[in-house]
Every structure is written in C-alpha cells, then in structure tokens.
Amino acid sequence: MLIYSSNMSDITTDYADHFDCEWYRDTYYGSVCVEGALGKVVKFDLDNYHAIFQSGKVKGKRLLDIGTGPCVHTIMSACRHVDDIYLSDYTAQNRKALTDWWKSDKTMLENITEYILRMENSGETVTERQKTMKGKVRAVLPIDVTLTKPLGTGCDVTEFDIITSSLCLEAASRTLELYRRHAGNVTPLLKKGGHFILNGTLGESWYRVGDKKFASLNLTKEDIESTYVSCGFDVISLKHGASSEGGNFSDYHGYFVMHAIKK
C-alpha cells in the first residue's frame, strides 16, 4: 500500500484490503443518469459506447475488457458484435463478483441494461441481454497493467480484436510516465487493425470507495491523445466533457471516451 505525504495522506491504493466492490457498484452504477453518484459521467460513457458499437464498424472475434471491476456495463453494447469476451481485474474480490454473476442466473446493473436496450430500440429483456453476455464470456482473468505481460503467462489468448477499458489505467498509474508505460504494456494485446475503446476521467486525483479515497492520475485530454498516438494508434474520436460535480465522490474535472485503431 502506498501512503502519500502531505495533504494526500488519506489516499490509498490498497485494492485488496479496501476496495468494497458492492459499495462501488451500488454507488456508481446503481441507477443511471439521475440518482447514481457521477451519473452524468456514466451516461456519457454508455451513450458513447452505444454509438461506437451501433455503427456496425467495430466488431471481431475476441474482446478483452481491462480492469472490469465488479461491473459489466462495458460489454453490454459490445456483446452483440463479438464472439468471445474476456473480463479481467487486478482485485480478487472484483474477479469473484464477476464470476458469481457469470456462473449464476443473477443479473446486475439492471437499470443500465434497460437504458442500453432502450437506446438500441431492442425488444430484449434485461435477463435475455445478460444471458447473451454470460454466454460469450470465456474467462475472468487476473491482470496487472504494470507488468510487461499484464495477463501473465497463464493465458493462451494473446491477441484481441477489441479492447475496452473503463477508469482503470488512471487508477493503476501514479505518474504520467507510468501511465504511458502501462498503456505500452496493454496495447500489444491488441491485433493490428484492432479497436481500443477507453473511457476515463480527466483532472482526477482521487475517487471514493466507502470511507476510503483511492488514488487516480490527473490527466488531460492531450495526455490521453499523445499517449495512444505514441503507442501506434490512429485516434478516431476523443469525446470529452467538463464537470466538477464529483463532490464527496471524486475531484474529477472532466471525462472522456476514446476510440482508437492500432496501426
């Protein structure tokens, strides 16, 4: 666990002991748009993921979601456009929450699923969409983006057609130099011509999980763009918004969704 000096002293990176996955999922994704903390950001992310996948141009066999956390909103639009989905997380309790969902009849994030089905004008029920998602999940993998081989040596799948990732790399990186290095660790997992869909926060140094503040990296839109250009991507779109409504939940100043293609 890293403890910061001065006014950052109450900020943790101890995911194993302090990341309360139920609190996190209920607070940030319990309800879309209106009641959920940071609901505006979640809506922005869902709308942009929907638009990217609805275009019909982003499809492939294998999708990896990096740092899935305890929640599966990133694959709700994507699942119709891929055959195999690999979820991943660094934290054991998040992998357990994902596996419990995958291996059971339980549903999660029902409000978010309904919101996405409405955008798609779909006749599917929440249960049907989540069954489709579960049917395509092939594994819940341990991952550490700080390693040159983030999936370790235990995973025989090494090349993905699509990578999605939500709010993970800024949580795993303490400096811009490390952020760039971690981006350079994960991008080789993508095939040439593959799609990278990434969403995150701008200007955030912490976010809340229960009574703990977790560290995040204060990034600008220019940091994001230059990082992925230097990793060999064409940035197709980088949508962003400004807001300082994090209150007790985060000190973020903005948010983004990037769609980039590996050259």
Whole-number Å distance between alpha carbons of 246 and 82: 34
CA neighbor of 133 nearest in space, from 168, 160, 109, 169: 109
- Structural contact between residues 169 and 219, judged by C-beta atoms closer than 8 angstroms: no
Q: Does 91 bind ligand SAM (CB under 6 A)?
A: yes
The residue type found at 84 is D
Whole-number Å distance between alpha carbons of 257 and 45: 6
Q: Which is nearer to ligand SAM, 171 or 197 (CB)?
A: 171
Spell out where 67-146 has E strands.
82-89, 137-142
CB of 74 to ligand SAM, least distance (A): 7
| Contacts of residue 131, Cβ cutoff 8 Å, sequence gap at least 6 | none
Q: Does 146 bind ligand SAM (CB under 6 A)?
A: yes
Q: Which is nearer to ligand SAM, 181 or 221 (CB)?
A: 181
CB of 42 to ligand SAM, least distance (A): 9
CB of 121 to ligand SAM, least distance (A): 25
Number of residues that bind ligand SAM (CB under 6 A): 18
Q: Does 145 bind ligand SAM (CB under 6 A)?
A: yes
**Residue at shortest CB range from ligand SAM:** 69
Q: Which is nearer to ligand SAM, 130 or 250 (CB)?
A: 250
| Contacts of residue 147, Cβ cutoff 8 Å, sequence gap at least 6 | 185
Candidate residues 76, 78, 82, 143; the one interacting with ligand SAM per rule CB under 6 A: 143
Q: Which is nearer to ligand SAM, 147 or 234 (CB)?
A: 147
Whole-number Å distance between alpha carbons of 263 and 203: 28
Only segment of 87-95, 98-106, 233-241, 245-253 that touches ligand SAM (CB under 6 A): 87-95
Pairing label, strands 160-166, 137-142 = unpaired
Q: Which is nearer to ligand SAM, 171 or 224 (CB)?
A: 171
Candidate residues 79, 85, 112, 168; the one interacting with ligand SAM per rule CB under 6 A: 168
φ and ψ at 162, to 5 degrees?
-140, 135
Only segment of 112-120, 160-168, 235-243, 248-256 that touches ligand SAM (CB under 6 A): 160-168
Question: What SS3 state is found at 211?
Answer: coil
Q: What is the CA radius of gyration of the chain?
A: 17
What does DSSP assign to residue 158?
-
Q: Does 68 bind ligand SAM (CB under 6 A)?
A: yes
Q: Which residues pair with 256 in a beta bridge?
A: 200, 240
Q: Does 94 bind ligand SAM (CB under 6 A)?
A: yes
Q: Which is nearer to ligand SAM, 206 or 233 (CB)?
A: 206
Q: Give contact residues for ligand SAM (rule: CB under 6 A).
A: 15, 67-69, 71, 89-91, 94, 143-146, 166-168, 171-172
